[in-house]
């Protein structure tokens, strides 16, 4: 039987991989851009709560989730392995950058003033900027997405940003509430991020 920490890591990883696969379904079925990429918020919330020791889980589960998406696209095995590994590395880079920026410049979590909420949301916006732009460019080398790769990258950035702003605050506040940690203005960050 797995202890509680390992079960929580396993549960986190499975939810994260499933959210990647589910988030890509609009893109696969209708060639539509998903509105919100929930997996980003889950990964960032996980690293803010469990520190950087969760990064290997983020990599493995991101690679697995993206591999399932690329299998569904019908790519060759070499492309699947290469792209899944690359996108797993992008997921690690994104969550690591969010962790560094929030811990260095964001202050204590959850924020207790509207100014700190804006600063935290700005830091999250900055942290999720590189991954979708690099990912769109890398994917365009393998699959012809659209002639305007920059537009696709910006759309993906907005989707990642929406996921970070909608999911991360609720995860952090929910975990703090569950652990019975003291909080000032617990719903300020989640509600004002909407």
CA dist., res. 21 & res. 54, Å (int): 20
Please write down the long-range contacts of 20-26, taking CB distance under 8 Å and 24 or more positions apart.
20/61, 20/62, 20/65, 20/66, 20/68, 20/69, 21/65, 21/68, 21/69, 24/69, 24/72
**Is pLDDT of 73 > 90?**
no
Lowest mean pLDDT among 55-64, 120-129, 164-173, 182-191: 182-191
Averaged pLDDT, 114-137: 91
Q: Say if residues 172 and 48 touch (Cβ distance below 8 Å).
A: yes
CA dist., res. 184 & res. 173, Å (int): 11
Tokens of 7: 């079960």
Please give the pLDDT value at position 191. 76
Please give the pLDDT value at position 89. 96
CA dist., res. 61 & res. 66, Å (int): 8
Radius of gyration of the chain (CA): 17
Task: Tell me if residue 80 falls in helix, strand or coil.
Answer: helix
pLDDT tens profile 1-27: 346 578 888 889 999 999 999 998 887
Please give the pLDDT value at position 66. 94
- The residues, ordered by sequence, that sit 6+ positions from 12 with a Cβ below 8 Å of its Cβ are 42, 46, 50, 54, 57, 61
Residue 82 pLDDT class (50, 70, 90 cuts):
very high
Does a cis peptide bond (omega within 30 degrees of 0) precede residue 110?
yes
Closest CA to 117 of 190, 181, 34, 189: 189
Q: Which residue has the higher pLDDT, 150 or 68?
A: 68
Averaged pLDDT, 73-97: 94
Please give the pLDDT value at position 158. 93
Averaged pLDDT, 144-169: 87
Please give the pLDDT value at position 4. 57
Tokens of 113: 């003033």
CA dist., res. 78 & res. 161, Å (int): 30
């Amino acid at each position: 039987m797995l202890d509680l920490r390992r079960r929580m890591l396993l549960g986190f990883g499975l939810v994260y991989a499933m959210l990647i696969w589910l988030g890509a379904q609009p893109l696969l079925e209708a060639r539509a851009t998903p509105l919100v990429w929930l997996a980003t918020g889950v990964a960032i919330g996980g690293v803010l709560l469990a520190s950087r020791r969760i990064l290997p889980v983020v990599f493995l589960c991101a690679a697995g989730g993206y591999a399932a998406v690329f299998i569904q696209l019908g790519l060759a095995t070499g492309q699947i392995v290469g792209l899944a590994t690359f996108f797993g590395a992008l997921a690690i880079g994104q969550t690591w950058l969010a962790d560094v920026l929030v811990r260095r410049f964001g202050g204590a979590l959850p924020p207790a003033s509207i100014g700190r909420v804006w600063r935290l949301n700005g830091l999250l916006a900055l942290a999720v900027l590189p991954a979708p732009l690099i990912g769109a460019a890398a994917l365009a080398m393998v699959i012809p997405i659209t002639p305007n790769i920059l537009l696709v990258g910006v759309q993906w950035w907005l989707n990642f940003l929406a996921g970070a702003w909608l999911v991360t605050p609720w995860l952090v506040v929910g975990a703090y509430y569950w652990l019975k940690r003291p909080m000032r203005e617990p719903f300020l960050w989640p509600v004002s991020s909407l």
